[in-house]
Amino acid sequence: MNAPARPMPHVLDTYGRLPVALSHGRGCRVWDSEGREYLDALAGIAVNTLGHAHPKLVPALQDQVAKLIHTSNYYQIPLQEQLAAALCEISGLSGVFFGNSGLEANEGALKIARKYGHDKGIDRPEVIVYERAFHGRSIATLSATGNPKVQKGFEPLVEGFVRVPLNDLAAIEAQARDNPNVVAVFLETIQGEGGINPARNEYLQGLRRICDAQGWLLMLDEVQCGIGRTGKWFAHQWAGIQPDVMPLAKGLGSGVPIGAIVVGPKALNVLGPGNHGTTFGGNPLAMRAGVETLRIMRDDGLLEHAATVGARLADGLRRELAGLDGVTEIRAAGLMIGIELARPCGVLLQRALDAGLLISVTADRVVRLLPPLVISEAEADRVVEILCPLIRAFLAEA
């Protein structure tokens, strides 16, 4: 018997949890406390880059835990230098601030945008944000988020945001023409929680052009779509552009909490001593997790793997769901895949669990797959085999 579906007595009831407790894992397989096996096509929401109990990551983390977990940013932390150098090398950017989560990285990015504006003499700086965006659940990041459900009950929202639709350059040009307070454009390269909605390459290139012309910062939230998930280190690299500010988190630590704001030359000197900080951020354990994650990804060719196995998974889904009434669109970039259905499909979460598969449903109608980057071709085929009959049966219901 699995754990019953009821709130845990001392844990605040803020999640709609499924009635299962996972106890251990290996690669893309996890087992619950009753010994039942599941195929993990969610990776803890794009976090477990290397899957579970990776044979190279585990000994590295054990070694680090036995040496140092936390010191303080009062002192030099050489592992920060090492991870920052690696992030700058793979992004082409220039500097990094380390925090603990996605919302923290985004909160820091918003502080950079405001300070950048003030440094230019703009007293009430504004940031362009997007419909259907998700940037986190702090007061500032939920204000930047484009989802009324996330904001409801937490008003007054933080001011200083203007909202536009995705992939509409005319809306950005109108801001450039009419709004002298804009200092930055802030978007997910591929919207995750909003339903796997990519910013088109031409759109990103257009944004880069307008930001350069206007002296605005281009800030790309790669918390969910970054760290190899789409088959390049960062999703914007498919468009051949670079952001000025790039918040990261999730997959960077393969499960150890971490966040990072990676910045280019335009934003490098915006924050100075005393402007920003955090107790846990950049601690040796998280830094080691980041360094080893990037190293293993590189050594094991996981970018190429994410691209090819992701294409195989998407092809399989398209083949099995082709022509099915009620499948609106399948959107895929490497191992970031959304299957949009014509009606809300939250029930598929439990049905997939019952069938031994971990997935997510986001934006009410989008089945989302974010498997570990180590997923094998056979496991990808198995995801298709389990999931497609569930979707077909669901769509056949009245």
Ligand X SMILES: Cc1ncc(COP(=O)(O)O)c(C=O)c1O
Residue nearest ligand X, CB atom distance:
102
Count the site residues for ligand X by CB under 6 A. 14
Q: Which is nearer to ligand X, 234 or 321 (CB)?
A: 234
CB environment 300-317: b (16+ within 10 A), e (fewer): eebbebbbebbbebbebb
Q: Which is nearer to ligand X, 335 or 390 (CB)?
A: 335
Options 81-89, 187-195, 264-272, 302-310: segment touching ligand X (CB under 6 A): 187-195
Phi, psi of 26 (to 5 degrees): -155, 120
Q: Which is nearer to ligand X, 103 or 289 (CB)?
A: 103
- Residue 102 Cβ, how far from ligand X at the closest point, in Å? 2
- Residue 265 Cβ, how far from ligand X at the closest point, in Å? 24
Binder of ligand X out of 52, 114, 115, 135 (CB under 6 A) = 135
- Residue 264 Cβ, how far from ligand X at the closest point, in Å? 19
- Residue 207 Cβ, how far from ligand X at the closest point, in Å? 17
- Rounded to whole angstroms, how far apart are CA atoms 46 and 44? 6
Q: Which amino acid type is present at position 37?
A: E
Q: Which parts of 313-372 interact with ligand X (CB under 6 A)?
A: none
- Residue 93 Cβ, how far from ligand X at the closest point, in Å? 18
Q: Which is nearer to ligand X, 186 or 321 (CB)?
A: 186
Options 75-83, 132-140, 283-291, 363-371: segment touching ligand X (CB under 6 A): 132-140
For residue 344, count other CB atoms closer than 10 A to its CB.
12
- Rounded to whole angstroms, how far apart are CA atoms 159 and 231? 36
- Closest alpha carbon to 391 in 310, 327, 311: 327
Q: Which is nearer to ligand X, 102 or 310 (CB)?
A: 102
Q: Which parts of 222-281 interact with ligand X (CB under 6 A)?
A: 223-224, 249
Check residue 192 for interaction with ligand X (CB under 6 A): yes
Options 153-161, 204-212, 219-227, 260-268: segment touching ligand X (CB under 6 A): 219-227
Phi, psi of 252 (to 5 degrees): -65, -30
Q: Which parts of 75-114 interact with ligand X (CB under 6 A)?
A: 101-103, 106
Q: Which is nearer to ligand X, 136 or 338 (CB)?
A: 136
Token pair of 218 as six digits:
């281009």
Phi, psi of 385 (to 5 degrees): -60, -35
Token pair of 102 as six digits:
């996605």
- Rounded to whole angstroms, how far apart are CA atoms 377 and 131? 35
Binder of ligand X out of 107, 188, 292, 340 (CB under 6 A) = 188
Token pair of 364 as six digits:
């009410």
Helices 377-396, 302-321: crossing angle, 10 deg rounding: 30
- Residue 346 Cβ, how far from ligand X at the closest point, in Å? 17
- Residue 147 Cβ, how far from ligand X at the closest point, in Å? 11
Active site residues: 134, 221, 250
User: Is residue 104 within 8 Å of residue 259, measured between CB atoms?
Assistant: yes
> Residues 21-60 vs ligand X: string with x where CB under 6 A?
----------------------------------------
- Rounded to whole angstroms, how far apart are CA atoms 316 and 386? 12
Q: Where are the beta strands (DSSP E) in the chain?
A: 22-26, 29-32, 37-40, 95-99, 126-130, 161-164, 182-188, 190-191, 197-198, 217-221, 245-248, 259-263, 327-333, 336-341, 357-358, 360-362, 366-369
Kind of pairing between the strands at 360-362 and 366-369: antiparallel
Q: Which is nearer to ligand X, 136 or 284 (CB)?
A: 136
Interface residues with ligand X (CB under 6 A) are: 101-103, 106, 134-136, 188, 192-193, 221, 223-224, 249
